């Protein structure tokens, strides 16, 4: 109970600056981009010609690319799971403190909602996708939820989001580059815009952790180490298809991403190294005994992960997803 109260006190202290946080890391709705900015306008006579052009460009994209793009889209569409998981975190109170961390969570969710909306519409218009199979996987993923081992701990939750937002940025940034390589400039721009949002969100969550380290360094160090010990799992780790087992196709989705170079084991290590550097983990002093041990574990982690990653072999055979026509 004492630790819980301390967490809430720290979160309340940080929430005093919520106006500054929102204005620094989120874009006003009035000036933000919307999915319709990048898609054919059904009210115009040119709509069918633009859709035909979109479909022709879509034909140039390889199979694994479609598997990854659809998996990314389903991940984005499972946003209700992510919002609901943050709303129950200690220090987030949408009833008593709707303008505190609940305000941030709503506004962050509102920005993120555009991502799945845009990719879903693009994928539908592409003509390359079995939309019912995709929709089934999406409903499964939202229904199944996820298990990211953060409990209701704000320190662990913000470690997760700091890591995951950067991982998502990398994935969308690379799908943007690959789309451009295959001559699909419109899709490339869509993915790049999503990636830019994810980078802003990553910087926000990373700054929250930096502020917590200034106030409660030992407990924050312990929470960081605990999250890394159990590994940062991707939010779509329960991904499945019709009548499949929970999580049954996540491995195939991950393999496709690694074959394409969209998100790899090396990226996981580099994100870990970046967070260690940006939070200045190596130079922290005055920690409790357990926190100092956690600090030592974290500093040794990249080398350990590198040795493990070198042993992993990615299957070369493409899995046939029900999503792709």
Cα-Cα-Cα-Cα torsion 151, 154, 160, 161, nearest 10 degrees, comes to: 130
Beta pairing partners, 324: 129
Give dist(CA 137, CA 74) in Å, integer: 7
Q: What are phi and psi of 27, to 5 degrees?
A: -100, 135
Compute the distance between CA of residue 166 and CA of residue 68 in angstroms, rounded to an integer: 17
Q: For residue 105, give Cα distances in angstroms to 37, 161, 209, 213.
A: 25, 12, 16, 21
- Catalytic amino acids? 33, 76, 112, 115, 165, 168, 197-198, 201
Chain-centroid distance, C-alpha 207: 17
């Amino acid at each position: 109970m004492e630790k819980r109260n301390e967490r809430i006190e720290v979160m309340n202290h940080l929430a005093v600056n919520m106006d500054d946080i929102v204005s620094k890391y989120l874009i006003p709705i009035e000036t933000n981009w919307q999915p319709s900015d990048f898609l054919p306008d059904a009210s115009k006579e040119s709509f069918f010609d633009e859709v035909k052009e979109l479909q022709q460009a879509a034909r140039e994209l390889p199979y694994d690319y479609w598997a990854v793009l659809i998996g990314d889209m389903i991940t984005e569409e499972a946003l209700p799971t992510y919002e609901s998981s943050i709303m129950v975190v200690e220090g987030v109170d949408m009833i008593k403190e709707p303008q505190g961390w609940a305000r941030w969570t709503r506004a962050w969710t509102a920005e993120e909602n555009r991502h799945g909306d845009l990719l879903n519409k693009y994928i539908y218009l592409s003509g390359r996708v079995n939309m019912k199979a995709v929709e089934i996987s999406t409903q499964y993923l939202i229904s199944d939820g996820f298990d990211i081992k953060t409990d209701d701990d704000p320190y662990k939750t913000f470690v997760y989001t700091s890591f995951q937002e950067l991982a998502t940025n990398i994935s969308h940034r690379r799908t943007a580059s690959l789309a451009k390589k295959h001559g699909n400039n419109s899709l490339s721009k869509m993915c790049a815009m999503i990636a830019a949002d994810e980078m802003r969100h990553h910087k926000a969550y990373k700054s929250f952790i930096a502020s917590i380290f200034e106030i409660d360094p030992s407990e924050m160090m312990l929470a960081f180490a605990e999250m890394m010990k159990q590994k940062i799992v991707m939010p779509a780790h329960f991904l499945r298809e019709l009548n499949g087992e929970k999580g049954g196709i996540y491995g195939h989705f991950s393999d496709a991403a690694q074959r394409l170079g969209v998100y790899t084991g090396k990226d996981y290590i580099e994100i870990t190294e970046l967070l260690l550097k940006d939070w200045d983990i190596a130079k922290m002093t005055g920690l409790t005994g357990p926190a100092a041990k956690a600090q030592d574990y974290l500093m040794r982690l990249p080398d350990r992960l590198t040795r493990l990653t070198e042993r992993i072999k990615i299957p070369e055979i493409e899995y046939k997803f029900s999503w792709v026509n």
